[in-house]
Structure 1
Amino acid sequence: MKRRLILPILVSLMFSPMAKAQQTGEWNGKRCAVVLTYDDALDVHLDNVIPALDSLGLKGTFYVVGNAPALNDRLPEWREAAREGHELGNHSLNHPCDGQLEGRSWVSAENDLSRYSVARAVNEIKVMNTLLKAIDGKTERSFAFPCGDKMIDTVAFYDFLKDDFAGARGVVPALQTINQVNLDDIRAYPIIGHSAEYMIDLVKQAEESGSLLVFLFHGVGGGHDLNVSLEAHRALIRYLHDNECDIWVAPMVDVAGYIRRQTSESE
């Protein structure tokens, strides 16, 4: 009789959320990893995003541009964000994009990546690392390609920067298992007016497939043409918080470092 009672209990425990996390805990003991990234160092990141993340104990990566007004005007707040565990990632000094591509008429001649030399692009990114170190005191961080552009003519400029970063985030969306991630071009989902349901469904897909999911935000509740509503963003991070037993939410520098260690150990 006792054995009949024990068996259903054991089955229930085996399929509980915590047991699933332990069985498929490839991501720091969790079922999947989610990285919240925010581009361009906007006022709304300080006003809307960081307080919301901090209220739930979540940490994100903020890809900072050196010439961003909100960086110069609010430097102590960015320093405080770094002290609280958020990553200040490198998004270049001047955010150059390839003005020769379709739909890039807005790119100025001064910030046209197609007019850069490789040396200039590399040097500006290295200078940005120095600036960020002066702000947060850290020597390890990740990079995000401005506009997702990786080439100057036929040269991949990041090839000269691989030793300077834990990893580099791109703009092409995909869910990837730990062995599929290319740390030189980490996939990410740009969020532009998407609903909470869409974003939460992506998280559920990542949980089911044991994948890395990276969100790419610009404006949150305004501040940029590429925007997501405060309500949708709030619902997403609430879901992440409420399911933290299954989901590892961490800055990109931490997740990229973890991937590098795990994959090197398995080789």
Structure 2
Amino acid sequence: MECLKLSFAALSLAAVSAFAGPITTVPWNGHPGAATFTFDDGLHSQTNNLTFLDNMDAKVTFFVCTGTMDFSTNSQPHLNYAKKGHEIGNHTVNHKNLTQGADLNSEIGGAATKLRSMGLEVTSLATPYCAQNATVKNAINQEHFINRGCGGGGLTGWDNEPDWMQIDSHYWQASSNVASFKSSLDQAASGKWHVQLNHGVAGNWDVISTADIKTLIEYAVSKNLWVATFSTVGAYLRAHFTIDKATATNTANGFTVRWTSPHAHMPKSVPLRVKIQGAQGKTVSQKGKEVKPNSDGTYTIEFMALELEVSGEPIEVKPFKGAIEIPGTVEAENYDTYAYSDADGKSDETGYRSDDAGIVKGGSGYALGYTSADDYFEYTLDVKKAGKYKVVINGATGNSTASSVTVSVGDKKVETEIPSKGDWNTYSEVEAGELELAAGKQTLRLTINTNYINVDWIKFVDESGTTNIARKIAFEHGTAMVHCQVFDLNGQLVKSANVMAGSASEAWNLVKVGLRKGAYIMRYGEAGQGSHVVKVRLQ
């Protein structure tokens, strides 16, 4: 992760030969999820009744048989759809069950050869009857980078690499209803890919009416899902698992990233929307052609170019809103420009800043989120007074257990746990300990030690003299019985006791026994004399 930091700092990279992870794919092409509608067997009921697609921003996939059913006798209706950007995929020659003694080379390879001879780019297959085994998968893999099966809810996630020879689909049958398929599309909108398997449209078998399929595609579009062909979404997903792991090699004025295609039959073109760490202020190019950034700072690159170059003068790392005065509060989202290492590249796309490293909405402002272990963020401090400072962190986690972060300045550091409150929007103020800081400019680093922690702010409090103030407060009537209550900085009562004392200092010395080191609020008072509140610290 340190090597990533070097790409952001205005330092020479000559000593570092390679570093990992500068490219991160934006999930589902910038949509909340994806949806693919597939139509099996090559039926004219499909081409006759899907003409409404001409007026929609949606592309579908037709899996056709080359030796049986309508496509085999008249392929032109389906080829007309292919000219409009829809996909023609392989459904074998004769629609045989491939696990029951079929000639796999003839059924799979023969159909692929036939379709390619028509000028089609055939990269995907759907197994007839969804029947397959290891031998069938191996045969499919020789000609296609992806295969569609069925049998489940048809949902595939973004983070875990699937079995490319068995992508699930949601099978529409005669007894199916629109409501259940809308429910699946709702689930897709939370970061998944939904694949729907259809056969006849207003005719043939396993019929879906024209009205119902139109309703479902329109619903997917209304949910802002990426409605694209099986190979388009599948290739985007598969490319993500390759390019996000690609390493960069430093050049004299930037770096180059190279990768290998994950399959010989990937589509010829796989546009990817990506974030490129270290590219801000520089020129991104592929095969000598400049790639301009999108309005949100992402880039749309060509995965099948298999390389990318970033060149130009090093970017300047500087305080985002000026050096942060200490004592004071460090807003976590105000890290120095490009001074971070962010593993997954996700964010709420708040638009708060261009070098967005996981900024989320937090309370009335912003916070850091989508964090991963070993992520870090750096801040320029302007310490006005040398001394010891209490460090308080406001953070949240929905993890099942507490998660930790480290705050360091130079060789001094404190580590603390953020308690789990069941979600990422319930924040807790936690005292991390003390840091002794010299006066002047210096750099703070916030390091994430556990996945999935939100950090809102880090506060540095000058508490010098806190206990001395308490020592000066003597009780009017000398030594007396004093009722003391001790609270942590979150307002939780941690101890209550009656002690004989002649001053607040004496009361604190008696009641602090057994407490952990740190700062507290002590409420104390003599019987019938009212109560007082003072901040105290146990060294």
TM-score (norm 1): 0.76
Number of the residue aligned with 1:199: 181
Q: Which runs of 4+ in 1 moved over 6 A?
A: none
Correspondence for 2:117: 134
Match of 1:114 among 100, 103, 109: 100
1:63/1:91 contact within 8 Å kept: yes
Matched, 1:189 2:183: no
| Correspondences of 1:65-214 after superposition (within 5 Å) | 65-97=65-97, 113-116=99-102, 120-135=103-118, 137-151=119-133, 155-174=134-153, 175-180=155-160, 181-193=162-174, 194-208=176-190, 210-214=191-195
Give the number of the structure with larger relative contact order, counting CA–CA contacts within 8 Å between residues 6 or more apart: 1
User: Which whole-Å CA distance do the structure 2 matches of 1:206 and 1:47 have between them?
Assistant: 28
Aligned residues: 218
Deviation at 1:186, TM superposition (A): 0.2
Q: Partner letter of residue 191 of structure 1? A: W
Instruction: Note if contact 2:150-2:169 (Cα within 8 Å) is conserved in structure 1.
Output: yes
Closer, same or farther in 2 for the Cα pair 1:67/1:163, shift >3 Å?
closer
Q: Cα distance 1:179–1:164, how it changes in 2: closer, same or farther (>3 A)?
A: farther
- CA distance, structure 2, for counterparts of residue 27 and residue 257 of structure 1: 11
Contact 1:34 1:214 in 2 (8 A): yes
AA paired with 2:168?
R
Q: Secondary structure at the match of 1:131?
A: helix
Instruction: Structure 2 unaligned segments of length 5 or more: list them.
Output: 1-24, 246-539
User: Is the Cα contact below 8 Å between 1:170 and 1:185 reproduced in 2?
Assistant: yes
Q: Deviation per CA, 1:36-60: give whole Å up to 9, x if none.
A: 00000111111112x1222313210
1:122/1:157 contact within 8 Å kept: no
2:64–2:89 contact (8 Å) kept in structure 1: yes
Residue 28 of structure 2: aligned partner:
27
* Aligned with 2:214 (options 229, 234, 239): 234
Structure showing the higher strand proportion among its residues: 2
Amino acid at match of 1:169: R
Distance 1:260 1:115 in 2: 31
Deviations 1:22-79 (A, max 9, x none): xx95111111011100000111111112x12223132101000112331133322222
CA distance in 1 between counterparts of 2:227 and 2:244 reads: 23
Is the contact made by 1:25 and 1:32 (CA closer than 8 Å) also made in structure 2?
A: no
Q: Could you tell me how far apart the structure 1 residues matched to 2:169 and 2:140 are?
A: 20
How big is the shift at 1:185?
0.5
Report the Cα distance in structure 1 between the residues aligned to 2:209 and 2:121, rounded to whole angstroms. 33
The 1:25/1:221 distance shift into structure 2, 3 A limit, reads: farther
Q: Which residue of 2 aligns with 1:39?
A: 40
| Larger CA Rg, structure 1 vs 2 | 2
Q: Which amino acid aligns with 1:173?
A: G
Partner of 1:103: none
Cα deviation 1:87-118 (Å, max 9, x = unaligned): 110000011126xxxxxxxxxxxxxx5233xx
Q: Determine which structure has the larger helix proportion and give its number.
A: 1
**Structure 2 residue matching 1:54: 3-state secondary structure:** helix
| CA deviation vs aligned residue, 1:116-140 (integer Å, no higher than 9, x gap) | 3xxx2123211101111122x1334
| Distance change in 2, residues 1:32/1:66 (3 Å) | same
Identity of aligned residues (%): 26
* Distance across 1 between alignment mates of 2:101 and 2:165: 23
The one-letter amino acid of 2:137's match is Y
Relative to the length of structure 2, the TM-score reads 0.39
CA distance in 1, matches of 2:72, 2:187: 39
Pick the aligned partner of 1:266 from 244, 251, 272: 244
3-state DSSP of counterpart to 2:28: coil
Matched, 1:251 2:229: yes
Looking at structure 1, the residues matched to 46 and 112 of structure 2 have their Cα atoms a distance apart, in angstroms, of 20
- The structural deviation recorded for 1:256 is 1.3
Distance 1:179 1:162, change over 3 A: farther
